[in-house]
């Protein structure tokens, strides 16, 4: 008797907490179809007008462009820098390896606001650098630790003798890397790419410090929420949620969700 | 079936080869001369540096000192992919995303062999190792023995003149192991490759190799044919590693042209051939293999010029089928093992009785004491 | 020798990138030592200002308070979820919850806060429900105050807390609980005496992560606090961007950095000490 009560109590608690976490998203979903130009719940009727409005709002268009640009460029750069670094950390034993390991993870330990103001001051000091370039650097800094960590985990799961075997069969180091290592950790790399894109796309706080005339999408949404009072943002949120679900799905397929967080 | 590529036998010479890892000497001044086409087995306990030696020869591990010469060419500064040295890894290291055929073709592609010729070599290799039916299978689907054959096929397809095999048979069960070691030897001899094969298993080493090198703590303790190591081990380590041995601490008490007299305490003495010992040494270890000894009834007359003898009491007997282990204890409390053929029941032995243990002077082995 | 330099060549570009952050951080330090109006000499005046001015000080103490409360609440709410999904849930349920958590984890923070506005606002879900059911006559004030910010913070850190806790619970040796049960312990004692102590490392990790996220939170106080709730990130942003007072903003950032570092150090040491007790 008491056992089944405990069980159902725990279950109820669990689903209560999960509901609490999911509720904001569900409400947004509902409101996005509201007929009226209010954010009141429950919605008064069904309409798709706000979805159209998302695309007609100039700041969202600019934001989307800017966010996509930042996400693609900074994740490409982070991969280009992170993969070799991960290779060095896993495949080589060299003086200062541990220090490098800590150093590459350093951005994880810097609060976002501090990172924001730091890069603002850095850009001021360099002075000739454009806003967008600084943002790219900032996003690379934010994403790099995750990329390195994921690639390191993937490489560690691979028998290093596979590359050695390839080399003894006549493959140059880069051939061994592209013909053996890349295909074997390929899914992991794809997962790392998606993760990098998502992290960059959603960054808000540090990004706020460096926004010039062109906001990113989350910043545009933030500004819209603070000034306007209609469901357009709800429609935008729903679209971004769909993109998020797609990202989760891809990551589940490519790296396995549990591997990502542990 | 032989492969069609032109093939040149190459020997291997290691001079003063040393490897240090994290300040610890792993290989310590190793000298080794391997003739072209010869098969050498590396035998030694875990952690003695066998894998490290193969890795150094393959170019996967930089030596801290010493020279590696293959086929007359100094290899120290040659990258692994230019050494033309094949290696079969202990874990096989088959490329999991490639089929058997693709694994075998990989090296040929890397060497720029023309497609038509590649195909021919692939077929020849597949049939030589009886892998034809598995050509499109992925490694994960193969049994241990099949994976091992693919690993060997892949490493010989490019016709390396030197093949390094790191415990290639360790993953197989006893029966398959026995079959494979003969096949492996025949294959290597047929192609004429110079090979180093690492193993933990002395029987395997003796069966496959022309010569066996016994390693201890990063050094080669002794190298020679199975017979050399068995009948003339140069130290206790080798003697113990290859079979079982009985020991006496001895002191040289007299020398003649043909033999030395050895004092083993309590006025007992043994003889050994003079050639078995360096003339300067006095303290020695006297040793004899258990199957060289024959127990006889105490009163039996013995030719003291041809045989050594000690008296000992039978304290235990284990019948093991082909052989019987007999344990004796001599008057000084030393335990001696005697191994007789299981069919040898000409002498009925009784536990607790004293017998004379006799063995030929020729079978008496002398070794330096451990201290020297 | 080529092989010697190889690893350094491989890590150099990444290190170059990280060095921009280090340069930025040293700029922050440099600015924070600047005095007021154009004086060249380094001074501690900004830090003095932060320490003595009651209203600045409040930003720090109040942020620490909010971070502590929200972390505590998230721990209490998160533990049952992590425990349930690892121990009680069917594999299918587990996967589902996991995917849901990750979706939360990856969903946009700004938009999540927007959803909370729709719930807590004057005409939001809660108020509609309360008034519809006759529980309240006029709309309750659920945001633009401490309560709203706390709800936002908890909602923001819950996924991180649950995933950290889930990590240790997943690694628990289930046989220990069975062993305890065979020794006659009732379920609640097994939980308190066996399960919970083994989860301490995960609790410490989750607490550290959540506390830092809350402490540094910017979006929540801006949207759910209406910019009126004193949190450090808001102070730094206001000073650095809106008021163009870079020295004071930098000093506040410096202090926040120090506090974060201290929290990381303290909790890591705590975790290490706890685990050392088990080891010989
Ligand atoms: N990267 C390394 N750093 C430090 N020491 C190492 C490293 N790799 C191997 N060693 C040490 O070198 C010694 C020899 O290793 P090696 O792999 O050559 O032994 P082995 O004879 O092949 O042993 P086994 O029979 O177990 O395979 C071991 O003591 C091992 O601990
Ligand atoms: Mg080995």
**Domain B12-240 part of CATH 2.30.30.100:** no
pLDDT at site B370 = 66
How does DSSP classify residue B5? S
Lowest-confidence range among B237-251, B335-349, C243-257? Answer: B335-349
Question: Homologous superfamily of A50-259 in CATH?
Answer: MetI-like (1.10.3720.10)
Ordered DSSP codes for C62-94: HHHHHHHHHHHHHHHHHHHHHHIIIIIS-HHHH
What is the pTM assigned to this prediction? Answer: 0.78
pLDDT (tens digit, 9 = 90+) per residue, B161-191? Answer: 899 999 988 877 788 788 888 888 988 888 8
pLDDT at site C147 = 93
As a whole number of angstroms, the distance between CA C121 and CA C129 comes to 12
Query: Which residues make beta-bridge pairs with B328?
Result: B314, B336
Q: At what angle do helices C2-32 and A58-91 cross, to 10 degrees?
A: 130
ipTM for the complex?
0.87
Q: How far is CA B237 from the centre of its chain?
A: 13
pLDDT at site C106 = 73
pLDDT at position B267 over 80? no
pLDDT at site B1 = 36
pLDDT at site A2 = 47
Mean pLDDT of C224-248: 89
As a whole number of angstroms, the distance between CA C175 and CA C163 comes to 22
As a whole number of angstroms, the distance between CA A176 and CA A185 comes to 13
Mean pLDDT of B247-272: 79
pLDDT (tens digit, 9 = 90+) per residue, C162-203? Answer: 988 988 888 887 777 778 778 877 878 888 888 888 888 889
Nearest CA in chain B to A174: B81
Tell me how far CA of residue A8 lies from CA of A4, C80, C178, C185, in angstroms: 6, 12, 21, 21
Domain ranges (residues) in chain C? 45-279
Strands B211-216 and B39-43: parallel
Which residue among A11, A31, A205 sits closest to C233, beta carbon to beta carbon? Answer: A205
- A158: tokens are 């691979």
Q: Do A180 and B95 touch (CB under 8 A)?
A: yes
Decide whether any atom of ligand 1 lies within 6 Å of the B154 Cβ. Answer: no
pLDDT at site B324 = 85
- B92: tokens are 């096989």
Higher-confidence residue of B121 and A228: namely B121
Please name the residue whose Cα sits nearest to atom 26 of ligand 1: B46
Spatial strand order in the sheet of B246-255: B269-273, B259-263, B246-255, B283-288, B365-368
Q: Do C6 and A88 touch (CB under 8 A)?
A: yes
- For chain B, the average pLDDT equals 86
The CA B239 to ligand 2 mean position distance, Å, reads: 22
pLDDT at site B173 = 77
Ligand 1 atom with the smallest distance to the CA of B90 is: 27
Which of these, B45, B47, B44, B54, lies nearest to B17 by C-alpha position? B54
The CA B61 to ligand 1 mean position distance, Å, reads: 12
pLDDT at site C194 = 81
pLDDT at position C278 over 80? no
Question: Homologous superfamily of B244-371 in CATH?
Answer: Nucleic acid-binding proteins (2.40.50.140)
Which residue among A144, A237, A244 sits closest to C103, beta carbon to beta carbon? Answer: A244
pLDDT at site B7 = 63
How does DSSP classify residue A215? -
Decide whether any atom of ligand 1 lies within 6 Å of the B199 Cβ. Answer: no
With the CA atoms of A235, A236, A242 and A248 taken in that order, what torsion angle do they form, in degrees rounded to the nearest 10? -140
Q: Would an 8 Å CB–CB cutoff place C110 in contact with chain A? A: yes
pLDDT (tens digit, 9 = 90+) per residue, C1-15? Answer: 456 788 899 999 999
Ligand 1 atom with the smallest distance to the CA of B45 is: 25
Q: Say if CB B217 and CB B229 are below 8 A apart.
A: no
Taking the alpha carbons at both ends of chain C, their separation in whole angstroms is 43
Domain ranges (residues) in chain A? 50-259
pLDDT (tens digit, 9 = 90+) per residue, C23-54? Answer: 999 999 999 888 766 666 677 888 888 888 88
pLDDT at site C50 = 85
One digit per residue, the tens of pLDDT, for chain A of length 262 reads 445 555 678 888 888 998 898 888 888 888 888 877 777 667 777 778 888 888 888 889 999 999 999 999 999 999 999 999 999 999 888 888 889 988 899 998 899 999 999 999 999 888 788 889 999 999 999 999 999 998 998 898 888 899 999 999 999 989 999 999 999 988 888 888 888 898 899 899 999 999 888 899 999 999 988 888 888 888 998 898 888 888 878 877 776 666 655 5
Q: Do B110 and A169 touch (CB under 8 A)?
A: yes
Tell me how far CA of residue B363 lies from CA of A20, B132, B235, B286, B326, in angstroms: 87, 50, 16, 10, 19
Banded pLDDT at C96 (limits 50, 70, 90): confident
Residues present in chain C in total: 280
- C187: tokens are 């379920």
pLDDT (tens digit, 9 = 90+) per residue, B96-106? Answer: 999 999 999 99
pLDDT at position B78 over 70? yes
pLDDT at site C70 = 97
Give C29 to chain A, closest Cα distance, Å.
9
In this structure, which topology does domain C45-279 adopt according to CATH?
MetI-like fold (1.10.3720)
- C125: tokens are 């879900």
The CA C175 to ligand 1 mean position distance, Å, reads: 35
Ligand 1 atom with the smallest distance to the CA of B22 is: 4
Range A19-37 burial, b when 16+ CB lie within 10 A, else e: eebbbbbebbbbbbbbeee
């Amino acid at each position: 008797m008491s056992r089944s009560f405990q069980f159902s109590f725990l279950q109820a608690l669990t689903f209560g907490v999960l509901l609490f976490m999911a509720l904001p998203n569900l409400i947004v979903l509902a409101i996005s179809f509201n007929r009226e130009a209010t954010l009141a719940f429950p919605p008064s009727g069904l309409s798709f007008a706000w979805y159209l409005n998302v695309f007609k709002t100039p700041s969202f268009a600019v934001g989307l462009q800017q966010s996509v640009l930042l996400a693609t460029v900074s994740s490409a750069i982070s991969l280009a820098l992170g993969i070799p670094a991960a290779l060095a950390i896993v495949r080589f034993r060299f003086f200062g390896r541990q220090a490098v390991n800590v150093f590459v993870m350093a951005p994880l330990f810097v609060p976002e606001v501090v990172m924001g103001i730091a890069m603002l001051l850095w850009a001021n000091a360099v002075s000739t650098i454009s806003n967008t370039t600084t943002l790219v650097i900032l996003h690379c800094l934010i994403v790099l630790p995750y990329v390195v960590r994921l690639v390191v985990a993937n490489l560690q799961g691979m028998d290093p003798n596979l590359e050695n075997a390839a080399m003894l069969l006549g493959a140059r180091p880069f051939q061994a890397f592209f013909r053996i290592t890349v295909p074997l950790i390929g899914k992991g790399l794809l997962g790392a790419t998606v993760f990098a894109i998502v992290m960059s796309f959603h960054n808000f706080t540090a990004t706020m410090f460096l926004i010039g005339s062109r906001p990113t999408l989350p910043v545009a949404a933030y500004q819209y929420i603070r000034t306007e009072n209609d469901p357009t943002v709800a429609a935008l949120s729903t679209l971004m949620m769909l993109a998020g679900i797609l990202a989760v799905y891809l990551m589940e397929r490519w790296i396995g969700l549990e591997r990502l967080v542990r | 079936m032989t492969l069609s590529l032109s093939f040149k036998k190459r020997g291997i010479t290691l001079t003063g080869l040393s490897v240090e890892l994290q300040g610890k000497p792993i290989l310590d001044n190793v000298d080794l001369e391997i003739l072209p086409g010869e098969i050498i087995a590396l035998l030694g306990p875990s952690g003695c540096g066998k894998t490290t030696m193969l890795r150094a020869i393959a170019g996967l591990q930089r030596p801290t000192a010493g020279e590696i010469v293959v086929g007359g060419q100094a290899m120290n500064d040659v990258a692994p992919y230019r050494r033309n040295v094949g290696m079969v890894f202990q874990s096989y290291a088959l490329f999991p995303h490639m089929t058997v055929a693709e694994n075998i073709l990989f090296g040929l592609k890397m060497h720029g062999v023309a497609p038509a010729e590649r195909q021919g070599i692939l077929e020849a290799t597949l049939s030589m190792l009886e892998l034809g039916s598995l050509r499109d299978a992925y490694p994960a689907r193969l049994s241990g023995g099949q994976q091992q054959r693919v690993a060997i096929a892949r490493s010989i397809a490019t016709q390396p003149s030197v093949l390094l095999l790191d415990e290639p048979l360790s993953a197989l069960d006893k029966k398959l192991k026995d079959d494979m070691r003969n096949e492996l030897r025949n294959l290597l001899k047929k192609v004429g490759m110079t090979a180093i094969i690492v193993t933990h298993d002395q029987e395997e080493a003796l069966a496959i190799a022309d010569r066996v090198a016994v390693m201890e703590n990063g050094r080669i303790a002794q190298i020679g044919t199975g017979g050399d190591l068995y009948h003339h081990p140069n130290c206790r380590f080798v003697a113990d590693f290859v079979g079982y041995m009985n020991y006496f601490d001895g002191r040289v008490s007299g020398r003649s042209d043909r033999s030395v007299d050895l004092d083993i305490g309590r006025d007992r003495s043994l003889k050994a051939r003079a050639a078995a010992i360096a003339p300067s040494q006095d303290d020695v270890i006297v040793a004899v293999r258990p199957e060289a000894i024959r127990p006889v009834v105490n009163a039996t007359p013995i030719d003291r010029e041809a045989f050594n003898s000690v008296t000992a009491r039978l304290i235990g007997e284990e019948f093991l089928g082909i052989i019987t282990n007999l344990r004796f204890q001599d008057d000084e409390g030393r335990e001696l093992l005697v191994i007789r053929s299981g069919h040898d029941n000409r002498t009925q032995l009784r536990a607790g009785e004293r017998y004379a243990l006799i063995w030929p002077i020729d079978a008496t082995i002398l070794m330096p004491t451990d201290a020297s | 020798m080529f092989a010697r330099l190889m690893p350094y060549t491989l890590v150099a570009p990444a290190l170059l990138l990280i060095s921009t952050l280090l340069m930025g951080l040293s700029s922050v330090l440099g600015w924070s030592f600047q005095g007021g109006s154009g004086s060249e000499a380094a001074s501690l005046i900004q830090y003095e200002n932060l320490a003595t001015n009651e209203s600045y000080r409040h930003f720090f103490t109040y942020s620490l308070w909010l971070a502590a409360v929200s972390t505590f609440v998230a721990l209490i709410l998160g533990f049952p979820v992590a425990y349930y999904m690892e121990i009680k849930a069917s594999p299918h349920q587990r996967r589902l919850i996991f995917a849901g958590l990750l979706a939360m984890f990856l969903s946009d923070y700004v938009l999540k806060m927007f959803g909370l506005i729709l719930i807590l606002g004057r005409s939001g879900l809660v108020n509609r429900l309360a008034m519809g059911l006759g529980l309240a006559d006029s709309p309750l004030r659920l945001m633009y105050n401490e309560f709203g910010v706390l709800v936002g913070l908890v909602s923001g850190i819950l996924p991180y807390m649950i995933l950290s806790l889930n990590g240790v619970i997943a690694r628990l040796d289930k046989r220990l609980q069975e062993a305890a049960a065979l020794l006659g312990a009732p379920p609640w004692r097994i939980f308190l005496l066996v399960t919970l102590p083994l989860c301490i490392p995960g609790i410490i990790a989750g607490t550290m992560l959540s506390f830092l996220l809350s402490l540094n939170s910017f979006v929540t106080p801006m949207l759910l606090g209406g910019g009126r709730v004193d949190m450090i990130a808001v102070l730094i942003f206001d000073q650095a961007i809106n008021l163009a007072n870079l020295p004071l903003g930098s000093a506040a950032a410096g202090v926040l950095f120090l506090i974060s570092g201290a929290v990381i150090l303290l909790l890591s040491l705590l975790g290490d000490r706890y685990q050392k007790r088990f080891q010989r």
